[in-house]
Amino acid sequence: MQSIALLSLNLGNSTTRTLARIEDMRDHCMVAPTARGGGHTLWVLGHLAYIEALVIRRFMLGEENPLAAWEPIFDGEEPHADRDCYPPFDEILATCRDMRTWTASHVESLTEDDLDVSSANVPQGWESTFGTVRLCVQYVADHWLMHRGQLADARRAAGVDRMWV
């Protein structure tokens, strides 16, 4: 298997496994994962979309982040407990799906050699994380899986059964 196929597989797996947990929490999307707050499901969903756009479009390709307006609510300090601070769940979900679909489609257009091209707009000091196309794509796949623990805690706090897949 070439690494581009592995990256595509990782994107697909992280999408399927993470969105299943998020969609299942639609009615409980504002339940905090801990008694001290934290990233509830609605925040995680928007955060995944925002970071995907930041890493792929801004860092990797050097374009403007199409979700830059979301930065204050999905990449700021603490997530807000007030639902009115956020766009509707379905809007965030659709945007998140669109970002991942765009990323997956872009990856499908790449060659194995394209993966080692330097990213267009790497933040200084982050070269080992975002320095190449390969690193950026793997980061966004990993980022979705990284937040599954937070989603598991939110599910537990909401009294929703654990998902095993």
Q: Report yes or no on 92 lying in a domain.
A: yes
Q: Which of 46, 47, 24, 43 is nearest to 33 (CA)?
A: 43
Phi, psi of 37 (to 5 degrees): 95, -145
Query: Could you tell me the mean pLDDT of each successive run of 10 residues in the chain, 165 residues long?
Result: 94 96 95 90 98 98 97 89 95 98 97 97 97 98 94 94 81
Q: Which residues pair with 132 in a beta bridge?
A: 118
Per-residue model confidence (pLDDT) at position 90: 97
Residue 97 lies in a domain: yes
Q: Which domain holds residue 106?
A: 3-158
Q: pLDDT value at position 37?
A: 86
**Quick check: is 100 in a domain?**
yes
Q: What is the pTM of this model?
A: 0.95
| Residue 158: predicted pLDDT | 95
What gap in Å lies between CA 151 and CA 121, rounded to an integer? 31
Within a 13 Å sphere around the CA of 57, how many CA atoms are in the beta-carbon half? 17
Amino acid found at 110: L
Give the list of residues 6+ apart from residue 149 with CB closer than 8 angstroms, or none.
none
Number of compact structural domains in the chain: 1
Does residue 163 lie within any of the structural domains? no
In sequence order, which residues have a C-beta less than 8 Å from that of residue 150 and are 6 or more positions away? Answer: 33, 38, 39, 44
CATH number at residue 38: 1.20.120.450
What pLDDT shows up at residue 162? 87
Query: What's the confidence (pLDDT) of residue 114?
Result: 97
